[in-house]
Structure 1
Amino acid sequence: MAETEAVTLIAILSPKPGKKERVIELMKKIVDGVMANEMGALQYEMFEDINTQEICFVEKYADGAAQKLHENTAYFTESIGALVKEDLLSKDYELRFLKTTAGFHVRS
């Protein structure tokens, strides 16, 4: 993936039993930070899988630099650090980098 190409990814977090609300609380801090500060983040949405209760993010960045900037923000590093320190996840979070092969983004 070239540094100048748009970056699309899905992040999946698997909270331990009874820890989902704390994970959501920490992740909302990241969402708020992205909305306020990251103009290179074109899409940043948090979802809950209704079957597994995993927390999933759909993220799209203008380019690789915008995605790297995101990973180095204080709100990202502090919240991810808290996930580890508080032992909130049942396994490491998963990142899946994607490329569009067909379809459309938004229908108006």
Structure 2
Amino acid sequence: EIDRQEGARHKLGRGLGELLRALTVDQELKRVIIAGGDTSSHALGQMGVDALTVRMPLPASPGSPLCVAHSSIAAIDGLEVALKGGQVGTDRYFSTIRDGLGG
């Protein structure tokens, strides 16, 4: 169980952020989704995201809009990011973000 090792959740989130940053840069990704509330905050930090602004609210999934990342890292600046925490979002959340739909 992950809770047996102190700080394991933070390490996991940071590691996922490092991996996502590398994939985003290498594959020139334009849109990503990060699942997990605490994981999202750690991952965004490792990706070099300084701020997020809302690009498109999703009425069917309040609290989890599609955002735009702002960063001094060129490959991350302008990246579309969706953060999916816990029980937020409908069953169609991931396909809605993938397809760029608003509802």
Question: Could you say whether these structures have the same fold, taking a TM-score greater than 0.5 normalized by the shorter chain as the test?
Answer: no
Structure ranking higher in helix proportion: 2
Structure ranking higher in strand proportion: 1
Query: TM-score with structure 2 length normalisation?
Result: 0.30
Greater RCO, CA 8 A, separation 6+ = 1
